[in-house]
Structure formats: structure tokens, C-alpha cells
Amino acid sequence: GDPSQVTVMGISAGAGSIAHQITAFGGTGAVPFQRAISQSPVFPPLTSQTTLDQLMNKFVSLLNVSTLEEAQSLQTEAIMEANALQIGASPYGSVTFGPVVDGVFTPASPSLLLKEGKFAKNLSLLVSRTDHEGLWFTPPYIRTDEEFTKFVNDRNPGISESALDYIVRVLYPAVYDGSQPYSNIVQRTM
């Protein structure tokens, strides 16, 4: 169809996919829409090659094969079941899989491409955010500083000890006296 007649809308990861479309090919490609409503765009942090390899190894092991090529020859139902098992075993509120930089469609993180002005500019956008969206992804069982630290560590594979310490002690300290933008551990985690 005619992209000038298309308006897309997304919230959360759906809005994150809009960001990927807008920055596709570093902003030099055609965008399949003319207008977008983007609410709280988010996508999982781009992970390391090691993490991606671990995800792939887990996936093929669930299929009882050794390579992606072997997996491609299996029935759709087996692929769907392995996918459901892998995602079902993921940490609370995580999505496990997400877009990665491929050097072509996604030449860099959309955040970086937007900052560098490498995005389609002939679009009409309505952008907003959703208050407290993080609550949807916040494990209800986090009650201690140790559980909070483990949550941050698990959500950021490969994070250094110094970066983890900075996040939990400086950026989001366990201070609930009103001096922070949160007043309890659930809000802090969110």
C-alpha cells in the first residue's frame, strides 16, 4: 500500500518497533508509514554476542539439535514449543528476545541513531510516555536490597561490579524518606 496513508501506533515494545523502523538503515531507507503514535517506546538492551550465543544454544538444546540449520528442518510445532519453553523460563517481566544490531537494518542502537540524527525525518509523530509502565515488569516478590541488587544484575547481563554498585547505591539507593522519586522498594524497582 501507499505509506503516505498509513498511521501506526504502539506502546512499550510496540513503540520500540516504531523506533527501529524510523532508524532502519541509519535513517536512509523507506519507512512503511507516514504517521506514528509512539507511547513509551522501549526495547530490551542490546546484549553481548556471548549472551546471544547462550540464548541460541539454549534454544537448539530444547529442540535436541546442535545447530540453527538443524532446527530449521524441524516442524513448526516443535519450534513453537521450544520458544514457549525458553520464554516461559525467563526472569519475571523479561522478554528474553529482542532486536539486535545487525549492521544493516539496525546499524546501531536506535537510541544512538536518534541522538546522531540518523532517522527518517519526513514523518509526523505523536510521542508520549506511560506513567508507571515499569510496574508491569516489576517482580512482586522483591522486598530486600539484596533481591533488588540481584534483579538489576540479572536484567543487565555482563554488568560490571562497579556499574552495579553505582546503580544500586548511587542512582537508586535504598532510601525511602521522600528524598528520592520513590518511597518504597516496589517503586524503586519499578
pLDDT digits (tens, 9 = 90+) for 40-80: 888 776 667 888 888 899 999 999 999 999 999 999 999 99
Q: What are phi and psi of 36, to 5 degrees?
A: -145, 145
The reply to whether 133 belongs to the active site is: yes
Residues 12, 81, 94, 147: which is the catalytic one? 12
**Confidence check: pLDDT of 90 > 90:** no
Name beta bridge partners: 11.
Answer: 39
Average pLDDT over residues 3-23: 90
State the pairing for strand pair 124-128/35-39.
parallel
Which three cell numbers mark 55? 540464548
**Confidence check: pLDDT of 158 > 70:** yes
Which three cell numbers mark 34? 507516514
Q: What percent of the chain has pLDDT over 70?
A: 98
Check: CB of residue 47 under 8 Å from CB of residue 54: no
Which three cell numbers mark 28? 536512509
Helices (H), the chain: 13-22, 49-62, 68-72, 76-88, 110-115, 145-155, 161-166, 185-189
Residues 6+ apart with CB under 8 A from 86: 55, 58, 59, 62, 96
**Confidence check: pLDDT of 138 > 80:** yes
Residues 81, 94, 111, 133: which is the catalytic one? 133
